[in-house]
Every structure is written in C-alpha cells, then in structure tokens.
C-alpha cells in the first residue's frame, strides 16, 4: 500500500502554518504549490500511473489462475475472487485512509480496517485460498493478526486519555497465539 499512498499523496494540499496568502501547498512536498502548472502535471502523471498500477494488478489477480494446479505448489490458488477483492480493498483503504487521516477522521479509518479484516477472515474461513493447506493457514493467520491489531488500535484510540501500560505485550502475545489457533 505504500506505493498507492505515493500516487494518492499528490492530491493532498494544505495551507502552510503562518501563511496569510491563502495559497495551498502539497502535503508531502511543501515547496510545491497546489494546482499550479507543475502540480497539475504531477497530478495527471500520478493518476495515469495509479491507473496503470491498478490495471496491471487487476490483470494479475484476475488471470493468474492455475489451470492444472499441483498440490506441491505452495502458492497455487483455488480461486481469484479473493485476490480481486483484496486489490480493491487495498485501493479503498489507501485512498480513504489518506484523505480521512488529513481530516482527523481516525475512527472511520479504524472502522474500515476492522470491517475489512472481519470480512477477509470470514472469506478465509469459508474456503482456503490456496491448495497447500500450510500456505492457507499462514495466510489466514495473517488476516486474524490484522484483525487483532485493528481491534487493539481501536482500544488505544478509545483509551488515549487513560494512562496504561502493556498494550504492546497484549498485541505480541495475541499475535503469537493466533497462528496455532488457525491450524
């Protein structure tokens, strides 16, 4: 997702602190004035690049399907629906997350991560995405760890005014216990 974040970040503009001119500058490169000649060129270039990125990865996710998969191939997939939805989810989280973070809507970002994690964990539990069961278990454990982290981020955000310690221990112990539970 950092690659798509770079493509989306060109559209984020802000007024510099202490500026009275009313001009906006790019959120990342504060020397770049927004909606000027160079910025418009970068916006067009990054839009085309993001479209190309999406096209390439959509083609990979739609058409990388094993016609005669082998049980010994650890990454042979049963279905491409999961990959296609994952691509769309990554783009949605990147774009919404980028623009909501600059608007201080962290609760919406956390909710999107939790809903997405629950959805993909549910998809994992319905069917194994890979022929190799060990690869599927590792893949599923990754999604459950993602859900665990999203829930812990929600707790940290909710309890940010409370003084407590040990949250990192809870996250690490929970992540360690999730992998054996997915077997």
pLDDT tens-digit series, residues 103-135: 667 788 888 889 999 988 888 777 766 666 677
Domain ranges of the chain: 1-63, 66-183
Least trusted range by pLDDT, from 46-50, 81-85, 148-152: 81-85
Can you tell me which residue has the tokens 């279905």? 79
Distance CA 113, CA 149 (A): 9
- The 3-state DSSP class for residue 14 equals strand
Q: CA-CA distance, 105 to 21, in Å (whole number)?
A: 27
Q: What is the pLDDT of residue 45?
A: 92
Higher pLDDT, 14 or 62: 14
Position 94 confidence tier, pLDDT thresholds 50, 70, 90 = confident
Q: Residue 27: helix, strand or coil by DSSP? A: coil
pLDDT of residue 41: 93
pTM: 0.66
DSSP class per residue in 76-113: -BS-SHHHHHHHHHHHHHHHHHHHHHHTT-HHHHHHHH
Examine the pLDDT at 101 and tell me if it is beyond 70: no
DSSP 23: -
Does residue 100 have a pLDDT over 80?
Answer: no
Percent of the chain with pLDDT over 90: 5
- Strand positions, DSSP E, the chain: 13-15, 24-26
Residue of higher predicted confidence among 176 and 116: 116
Region 66-84: mean pLDDT is 60
> What integer best gives the mean pLDDT of the chain?
77
Q: Tell me the pLDDT band of 77, cut-offs 50, 70 and 90.
A: low
CB 154 within 8 A of CB 114: yes
In terms of pLDDT, which residue wins out, 92 or 66?
92
CA distances from 36 to 31, 41, 45, 99 (A): 12, 9, 14, 21
């Amino acid at each position: 997702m950092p690659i798509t974040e770079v493509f989306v970040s060109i559209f984020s503009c802000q007024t510099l602190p202490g500026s009275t001119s009313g001009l906006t500058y790019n959120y990342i490169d504060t020397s770049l004035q927004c909606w000027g000649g160079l910025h418009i060129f970068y916006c067009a270039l990054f839009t085309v690049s993001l479209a190309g990125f999406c096209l390439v990865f959509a083609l990979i996710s739609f058409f990388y399907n094993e016609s005669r998969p082998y049980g010994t191939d650890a990454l042979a997939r049963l279905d491409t629906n999961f990959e296609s939805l994952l691509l769309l989810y990554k783009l949605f989280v990147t774009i919404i997350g980028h623009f909501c973070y600059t608007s201080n809507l962290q609760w919406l970002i956390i909710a999107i991560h939790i809903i997405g994690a629950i959805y993909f964990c549910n998809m994992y539990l319905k069917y194994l995405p890979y022929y190799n069961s060990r690869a599927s278990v590792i893949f599923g454990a990754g999604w459950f760890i993602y859900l665990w982290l999203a829930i812990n981020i929600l707790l940290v955000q909710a309890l940010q005014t409370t003084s407590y310690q040990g949250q990192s221990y809870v996250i690490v112990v929970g992540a360690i216990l999730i992998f054996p539970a997915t077997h």
